[in-house]
C-alpha cells in the first residue's frame, strides 16, 4: 500500500514507521490513523519483522495530538470511525506479537502521548515534552490515555496530568516511569535501533510470550497473572528455541533462534 502521511521502511528485521505531517506537527487525523493501522497490519503478516519502531518526522515533535482542525469538524459518523480506528490501532500495537518501541523525538501531546503509551516502551530525546492537554479543548483523552497513563503513573498523578493539562519535561517523564530513558536528540534513533537489534536476535516465541504475559497479567490479579505466566512458559517449551537456547549455553556458543509462531 502507498502511504501519504507516514513513512514506512524495513531494514533487516526492524520496521520503522515515521508519522510525517510536518505542517501540522505530525497531528493524527483519520488518514494517519488509517495508514498506521494498515502498516501495522502489514507488519503483522510478515514473520521476518521482529521489532517495530515508531517515531515522528523532524526534530521538534513526535506527534502533537489528534488533529484539532479535524476534531472540530467531526460529526457522529466520522467521530465513530475515528474513535474505533484509533482504539483498534492502540490495541493492535499492544497485542502485536513483536515489540513496539516509541522513539519520542519532541512534543508528545494528547493522542501523541497515547500513541507512545500503547507501545511497549519509550525512549525520549532531551527536548521532549509530554502531556494530555485535551482538557484545555473541553474534551478528555480519547485513545485510551485515561486508562494507560493511570496504569503507568498511578491514579493521582494521572488525574493531576489530565485535569490540569500540565506538560512534563523529558526528565520528569523519566522520573515518573513514562519514558524508559532520555538521551540527546542525536542519539535517539541509534538508541532505539540498538535496543531493537538486541531484541531481534532473541527467540520470536519467547519475546512474544514475555510481552503477552506482562500485558495480560497486568489486566488481572496476581494469582491469574501467575497462571498466565505458567501457560506462556509452556508455550516457550513448545518452540525449538528453548532447546536451542539452553543447548547453546551449555555448548558455550551463541544461540541461533529459528522458532516461529506459525508452528
Ligand atoms: N492539530 C492540528 N494542527 C496542529 C496541532 C494539532 N494537534 N498542533 C499544532 N498544529 C498546527 C498549528 O495549528 C500550526 O498550524 P499553522 O498555523 O502553521 O497552519 C502548526 O501546527 C504549528 O503549530 P504552532 O504554531 O502552535 O507551533 P509552536 O511551536 O508554537 O507550538 C505546540 C507547538 C506543540 C506546543 C503547539 O502546536 C500545541 O500546543 N499544539 C496542540 C497540542 C494539543 O493540544 N494536543 C492535544 C490535541 S487533542 C478522540 C481520540 C483522541 C483524542 C480526542 C478524541 N476520539 C476517539 C473521539 C485526542 C485529542 C487530542 O490529542
- Per-residue pLDDT of 127-154, as tens digits, reads 999 999 999 999 999 999 999 999 999 9
| Per-residue burial over 139-170, b = 16 or more CB atoms within 10 Å of its CB, e = otherwise | eebbbbbbebbbeebeeebbeebbeeeebbeb
User: What nine digits make up the cell of 87?
Assistant: 482504539
pLDDT at 187 > cutoff 70: yes
Q: What angle (nearest 5°) sits at the alpha carbon of residue 83, between those of residues 9 and 128?
A: 55
User: What nine digits make up the cell of 158?
Assistant: 494521572
Kindly give the distance from the C-alpha atom of residue 158 to the centroid of ligand 1, in angstroms, as a whole number: 21
User: Is residue 188 situated within a structural domain?
Assistant: yes
The number of folded domains in the chain is 2
Considering the domain architecture, whether residues 189 and 219 belong to the same structural domain is answered as no
Considering the domain architecture, whether residues 176 and 238 belong to the same structural domain is answered as no
Return the pLDDT at 263: 65
Nearest CA to ligand 1 atom 12: 24
Residue-wise pLDDT tens digits, 60-78: 999 999 999 999 999 999 9
For the full predicted model, state whether its pTM sits above 0.85. yes
User: Is residue 193 situated within a structural domain?
Assistant: yes
Residue-wise pLDDT tens digits, 43-53: 999 999 999 99
User: What nine digits make up the cell of 235?
Assistant: 508455550
Ligand 1 proximal residues by C-beta, below 6 Å: 24-25, 27, 64-69, 79, 82-83, 86, 107, 109-111, 133-134, 137, 139, 141-143
Report DSSP state, residue 180.
S
Nearest CA to ligand 1 atom 45: 65
pLDDT at 41 > cutoff 90: yes
Amino acid at each position: 500500500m502507498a502511504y501519504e502521511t507516514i513513512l514506512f521502511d524495513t531494514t533487516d528485521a526492524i520496521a520503522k514507521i515515521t508519522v510525517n505531517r510536518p505542517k501540522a506537527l505530525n497531528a493524527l487525523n483519520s488518514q494517519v490513523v488509517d495508514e498506521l493501522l494498515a502498516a501495522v497490519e502489514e507488519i503483522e503478516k510478515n514473520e521476518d519483522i521482529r521489532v517495530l519502531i515508531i517515531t515522528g518526522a523532524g526534530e521538534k515533535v513526535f506527534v502533537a495530538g489528534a488533529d484539532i482542525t479535524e476534531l472540530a469538524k467531526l460529526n457522529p459518523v466520522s467521530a465513530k470511525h475515528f474513535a474505533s480506528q484509533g482504539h483498534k490501532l492502540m490495541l493492535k500495537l499492544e497485542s502485536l506479537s513483536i515489540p513496539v518501541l516509541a522513539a519520542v523525538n519532541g512534543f508528545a501531546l494528547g493522542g501523541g502521548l497515547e500513541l507512545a503509551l500503547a507501545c511497549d516502551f519509550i525512549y525520549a530525546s532531551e527536548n521532549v515534552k509530554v502531556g494530555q492537554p485535551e482538557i484545555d479543548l473541553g474534551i478528555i483523552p480519547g485513545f485510551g490515555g485515561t486508562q494507560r497513563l493511570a496504569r503507568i503513573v498511578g491514579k493521582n498523578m494521572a488525574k493531576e496530568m489530565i485535569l490540569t493539562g500540565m506538560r512534563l519535561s523529558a526528565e520528569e517523564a523519566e522520573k515518573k516511569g513514562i519514558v524508559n530513558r532520555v538521551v540527546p536528540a542525536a542519539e535517539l534513533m541509534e538508541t532505539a535501533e540498538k535496543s531493537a537489534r538486541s531484541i531481534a536476535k532473541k527467540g520470536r516465541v519467547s519475546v512474544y510470550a514475555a510481552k503477552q504475559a506482562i500485558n495480560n497479567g497486568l489486566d488481572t490479579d496476581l494469582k491469574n497473572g501467575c497462571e498466565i505466566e505458567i501457560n506462556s512458559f509452556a508455550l516457550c517449551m513448545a518452540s525449538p528455541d528453548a532447546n536451542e537456547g539452553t543447548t547453546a549455553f551449555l555448548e558455550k556458543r551463541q544461540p541461533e533462534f529459528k522458532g516461529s509462531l506459525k508452528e
